[in-house]
Amino acid sequence: MSADYPTIRFTVNGQEFAVDTLPMKRLLDVLREDLHLTGTKEGCGEGECGSCSVRMNGELVNSCLVPVLQAEGACVQTVEGLAINGELHPLQKAFLQCGGAQCGICTPGMLMAATQLLSLNPHPSMLEIREGLAGNLCRCTGFTRIFESVVAAASAETHNVHDQADHAR
Amino acid sequence: MHVLILARSVVCYASTRTTKAASPTMDTIEKTRIVGAPVLRKEGVDKLLGRARYVDDIEREGMWYGLTVRSTIPRGFIRSISFDRRINWSEFTVVTAADIPGKNHVHLIIADQPVLADGLVNHCDEPILLLAHPDKHKLREAASAVHIEYDPLPPVFTIDESERQETIVWGADNLIKSFLLEKGDVDSAWSTAAHIVEGEYRTGAQEHLYIENNGMIAEWNPETGITVWGSLQCPYYVHKSLLAVFDLPEDKVRVIQTETGGAFGGKEDYPSTLASHAALLAFKSGQTVKMVYDRMEDLAATTKRHPSRVRHRTAVDSNGKLLALDIEVATDGGAYATLSSTVLSRATLHSPGPYVCPNVRVRAHSWATNTVPYGAFRGFGAPQSIFAIERHMDEIAAAIGIDPVELRRRNFLHDGDTTATEQVMRDPVILDKLLDRALTESDYYAKRERFALENQSGPVKRGLGIAAFFHGSGFTGSGERYLNSLAGIDVIPEGKVRILVANTEFGQGTNTVLSQIAAESLNIGYDDVIVAQPDTSVVPNSGPTVASRTTMVVGHLIERAGAQLLSMLREHAGLGAHFTTDEFFAACERYRAIHGKVESLCRYEAPPGIFWDDKTYHGEAYPAYVWSVQVAQVAVDTVTYSAEVEDFWSVQEVGRVLNPVLAGGQIEGGIAQAIGYALYEKVVLQNGHMANNQMTNYIMPTAEDVPPIHVYFEQIPFRHGGFGAKGIGELPHDGPAPAILNAIRDATGVGFNAIPLLPEDLFLELSVREPQVETAPA
């Protein structure tokens, strides 16, 4: 880090960071190299495969296409921010149980795309799941078990909400 | 009769698993606790948390980065290499062929491929020179400042050009390998045939498109030698290659597999080249060097599936029985031999399909061209020749006017029949059952009737297509005997059983399935088993992770190693007939106190009665076969000329299914990849260089393109496979391409004989057909 570089401030997984770096450095590289959050992967470097998907201010973005200056002041969520206190996120549980991850390299991006999908649409139809994940390529699974994972997670989240509602009463 | 358990693989949670017995004789499937259950992927949590460490996730203090300077022409002599003065070259390490301390070749079958081109280049993107620097951002500019001048030679780019032998680009005759397989007397059959049907079928190259590109880190230390970490399938292939390149003894080269983000055969041989490059830079610079390809380099420079051209001439009697199969298989091997001979072997052996025929002749040739060498890819030659025979069966059916399903049924192999190599089918063959199930599940006949009506109006034409096929599990012929694999387990002091194999996990489930086998065999828990990271200084050589062999062959070794360990503990450490996990590990510690370590290794033993003659291509080509019937439903839009797979059914017999979630995932993933092979994925070469070397224009199926895939297993345990398993991984890629093109034939009445079949190909053929004009009666 050089003093010549501007300081970019943003929040990743709830934690604030200030990084002195080239403003045009890719968010992907800042996450991986500067913050050592290597869960986010590079697959193509041109926004086609979705392996580098992260959530930024409630949007799903390809972090290989985002210059870090665009992240100034932003809230970013990566795969490392899904599990809370070591407890797997419902989507992570579902991917594990349904066989939604094989080689695992597309998985972080796929999880972020699925998180985004369920945040906007907690009970997507199969067509909506296919559309929601169409920007994320998986070469291992043929997607079938990823779809099942999302369905399972959506139904598990419903159960969780019900549980909480029961407790609240 | 044989026992079957039909397990629908579309399962999610264990509680919703639907396993039903097809017949009351299910007791031949051994009762097990862990084998057969959908236990969770061993390394799954690490992958889901994003903490699994792939090669590019690994950084070392002060690490340097490497880059490859490649040929820009397909063939020619290197006249000069010069270095632009605008770069301060003293900061860089530069490696050429002259820096190689040992042999300048990639060790594989034939030593024809240099690690770095020395004077002559034989394909575009051939590595010539390597650069390393501590700042990876300085490498691209430096690479552009290396000027290479060539004296070009005429290149050859296709099978057809290469076999004309007008320009010789490899050896004396361009011929990398040929095989002749003969059964009976083909030439005597033509005169007795009711029908003779001919056809030519072509398949294109296919890119693996693993989402993790190739990558390697290398370190050199004068005391310990070379260590490499990388994304790879076969640690001992890389090990052997490095021994030759550096002329080092075995204990001075160490190869460690890092988490690998997909491979599909694409990381079988190429990592030997990349590891050599990274190690040469580390050796010369004295630094740890990382080389990770970006997507464009990976696509342009690494192996693909062999393109093929297969010609069939078939004699059939009046009842539709096959009398003679005369087959010519030709593959494009690319610029160097690499694995082309073994790919051709598998293409040869799978070319007659799962049919009985008294007279078979297969003449097979692999031809050299000036393209990046073609290499291993899921199916390894079988998808090419199965595309041909299964498309051809539909053309035969059309020519003689019978139902393609019926034609297949009349010619299926059964128990006791012999294949083209005169291998007797000693194990049960249940193709009829697989076919019946596929027809029922897809509602084949009712749908065909309905589509025939519906297709009369409207622009969308629907059709159903079928493919029936086998895939040989494990190495061909005597291959497993030569491999002589050693695998096993040990027990670490922390109280875990550890799997010791060189077989790698790259998504298929090696870690999980081998752990299930060990736990079952030792009667301990799945969580009591861990898997050693594949590291040639730790694990024995249990052979490469290829050829759908791991679960069947290596799994069987682990099963035996478990039984052997229990005997050792009973004999020497007082383990009782029945024991708890604590008692098991207590016995292990007693054993350790006496013997120093607790380890059980087993070496491969060939199943009895196996005979194979490499010269005449006769005998037991494979120790076991897996079988499948697939049905594709395709809609062709005659306005947009797009073909869409709407639904897909796959029924298969793969021995015992050890983990239904993983097995189902293998089938579904293979089918999706093969849908891409059939309809989307085209490698466009311009002057021998891949012109569409980006994910933007090399198109694979997305979440919106893959149809619902229905997977059904029938299980017949194979007595020489790990807990009854045979190979699964490659089988599903064999059938979809012909099934899909057969469905398009059914939908449109036009038989397409080449893949990939893109909308523009459909347009060319369907749009220029003669319009149907009704002539007024005279």
CATH number of the domain that A140 lies in? 1.10.150.120
Residue B280 and residue B342 in one domain: no
Residue A104 to residue A79: CA distance in whole angstroms: 12
Residue A12 and residue A42 in one domain: yes
Alpha carbons within 13 angstroms on the beta-carbon side of residue B245 total 33
The answer to whether A106 contacts B211, with C-beta atoms less than 8 Å apart, is yes
Residue A97 and residue A149 in one domain: yes
Question: Which A positions 56-75 lie with beta carbon below 8 A of chain B?
Answer: none
B52 has a chain A CB within 8 A of its CB: yes
The residue type at B231: S
**Partners of B328 in the β-ladder:** B311, B363
Residue B633 and residue B549 in one domain: no
**Partners of B600 in the β-ladder:** B489
Q: Hey, of A139, A149, A151, which one would you mutate to test binding to chain B, going by the most B CBs within 10 A of its CB?
A: A139
Lowest mean pLDDT among A34-43, A156-165, B185-194, B542-551: A156-165
CATH number of the domain that A47 lies in? 3.10.20.30
B672 has a chain A CB within 8 A of its CB: yes
Which backbone phi and psi does B309 adopt, to 5 degrees? -135, 120
**Residue ending a domain, choose from A81, A100, A122:** A81
To the nearest whole Å, the CA of A57 is away from the closest chain B CA by 21
The answer to whether A137 contacts B260, with C-beta atoms less than 8 Å apart, is no
Structural domain of residue A54, as residue ranges?
7-81
A31 has a chain B CB within 8 A of its CB: no
Residue A94 and residue A30 in one domain: no
Question: Which pair of tokens denotes residue B324?
Answer: 């003679």
Residue B160 to residue B367: CA distance in whole angstroms: 9
For B117, left (φ over 0), alpha (ψ -120 to 50), or beta?
beta
Q: What is the pLDDT of residues B46-86, one digit of tens each?
A: 999 999 999 999 999 999 999 999 999 999 999 999 999 99
Examine residue A1 and state whether it is found in any structural domain, yes or no.
Answer: no
Q: What is the mean pLDDT of chain A?
A: 92
Residue A154 and residue A95 in one domain: yes
Beta strand B496-500 pairing with B486-492: antiparallel
CA-nearest residue to A132 within chain B is: B703
The answer to whether B702 contacts A134, with C-beta atoms less than 8 Å apart, is yes
Examine residue A127 and state whether it is found in any structural domain, yes or no.
Answer: yes
Residue B114 and residue B223 in one domain: yes
The answer to whether A105 contacts B210, with C-beta atoms less than 8 Å apart, is yes
The answer to whether A96 contacts B209, with C-beta atoms less than 8 Å apart, is no
To the nearest whole Å, the CA of A111 is away from the closest chain B CA by 8
Residue B613 to residue B86: CA distance in whole angstroms: 61
Residue B695 and residue B599 in one domain: no
Residue B643 and residue B727 in one domain: yes
Residue B495 and residue B591 in one domain: yes
pLDDT at res. B609: 77
Closest alpha carbon to B292 in B269, B305, B275: B275
Reduce the DSSP state of residue B5 to 3 states and report it.
strand
Find the CB nearest A39 among B51, B209, B696.
B51
Model ipTM value: 0.95
Residue B321 and residue B371 in one domain: yes
Residue A76 and residue A12 in one domain: yes
Beta strand B612-613 pairing with B19-21: unpaired
CA-nearest residue to A86 within chain B is: B49
Examine residue A148 and state whether it is found in any structural domain, yes or no.
Answer: yes
Closest alpha carbon to B127 in B140, B116, B142: B116
Residues 6 or more apart whose Cβ sits within 8 Å of residue B392 = B197, B199, B201, B312, B314
Report the number of distinct structural domains present in chain A.
2
Beta strand A7-12 pairing with A75-77: parallel
CA distances for B527 relative to B39, B496, B497, B516, B563, angstroms: 10, 8, 9, 9, 19
Residue B420 and residue B499 in one domain: no
Residue B579 and residue B444 in one domain: no
Examine residue A2 and state whether it is found in any structural domain, yes or no.
Answer: no
Examine residue A54 and state whether it is found in any structural domain, yes or no.
Answer: yes
Q: What is the pLDDT of residues A107-139, one digit of tens each?
A: 999 999 999 999 999 999 999 999 999 999 999
Residue A23 and residue A77 in one domain: yes
B54 has a chain A CB within 8 A of its CB: yes
CA-nearest residue to B704 within chain A is: A130
Examine residue A104 and state whether it is found in any structural domain, yes or no.
Answer: yes
Find the CB nearest A142 among B52, B260, B671.
B671
Residue A77 and residue A96 in one domain: no
Question: Which pair of tokens denotes residue B272?
Answer: 């030997």
Residue B138 and residue B120 in one domain: yes
Which backbone phi and psi does B584 adopt, to 5 degrees? -60, -50
User: What band does A37 get if pLDDT is binned at 50, 70 and 90?
Assistant: very high
Residue A95 and residue A152 in one domain: yes
Examine residue A138 and state whether it is found in any structural domain, yes or no.
Answer: yes
pLDDT at res. B29: 82
CA distances for A108 relative to A51, A52, A68, B49, angstroms: 7, 8, 20, 8
Residue B38 to residue B32: CA distance in whole angstroms: 12
Contact pairs from chain A to chain B, CB under 8 Å:
176
Examine residue A159 and state whether it is found in any structural domain, yes or no.
Answer: yes
Examine residue B470 and state whether it is found in any structural domain, yes or no.
Answer: yes
A53 has a chain B CB within 8 A of its CB: no
**Residue ending a domain, choose from A35, A64, A81:** A81
Structural domain of residue B456, as residue ranges?
308-476+615-767
To the nearest whole Å, the CA of A149 is away from the closest chain B CA by 8
| Residue pair A136/A61 in contact by the 8 Å Cβ criterion | no
B10 contact residues in A (CB cutoff 8 A): 144, 148
B671 has a chain A CB within 8 A of its CB: yes
pLDDT at res. A160: 55
Residue B528 to residue B495: CA distance in whole angstroms: 8
To the nearest whole Å, the CA of B209 is away from the closest chain A CA by 7
DSSP letter at B16? G
| Residue pair B253/B242 in contact by the 8 Å Cβ criterion | yes
Residue A72 and residue A110 in one domain: no
Find the CB nearest A148 among B12, B295, B506.
B12
**Residue ending a domain, choose from B292, B327, B343:** B292
Residues 6 or more apart whose Cβ sits within 8 Å of residue A140 = A102, A103, A106, B262, B507, B665, B669
Examine residue B540 and state whether it is found in any structural domain, yes or no.
Answer: yes
Residue B728 to residue B734: CA distance in whole angstroms: 11
**Residue ending a domain, choose from A59, A81, A103:** A81
A48 has a chain B CB within 8 A of its CB: yes
The answer to whether B709 contacts A40, with C-beta atoms less than 8 Å apart, is no
Helix/strand/coil (H/E/C) assignment for every residue in B328-356:
EEEEEEECCCCCHHHHHHHHHHHCCCCEC
Radius of gyration of chain A, Cα coordinates, nearest whole angstrom: 17
| Residue pair B174/B165 in contact by the 8 Å Cβ criterion | yes
Examine residue B586 and state whether it is found in any structural domain, yes or no.
Answer: yes
Listed as ranges, residues in chain B with pLDDT below 70 are 1-28, 768-778
Q: Hey, of B49, B377, B699, which one would you mutate to test binding to chain A, going by the most A CBs within 10 A of its CB?
A: B49
**Residue ending a domain, choose from B603, B638, B664:** B603
The answer to whether B261 contacts A102, with C-beta atoms less than 8 Å apart, is no
pLDDT at res. B4: 38
| Residue pair A108/A147 in contact by the 8 Å Cβ criterion | no
How many CB atoms are closer than 10 A to CB B619? 17
Find the CB nearest B40 among A41, A97, A135.
A97
Examine residue B512 and state whether it is found in any structural domain, yes or no.
Answer: yes
CATH number of the domain that B676 lies in? 3.30.365.10
Report the number of distinct structural domains present in chain B.
3
CA-nearest residue to B508 within chain A is: A102
Residue A103 and residue A150 in one domain: yes
Residue B340 and residue B285 in one domain: no
How many CB atoms are closer than 10 A to CB A169? 4
Residue B407 and residue B337 in one domain: yes
CA angle B382, B756, B462 (to 5 degrees): 100
| Residue pair B755/B682 in contact by the 8 Å Cβ criterion | no
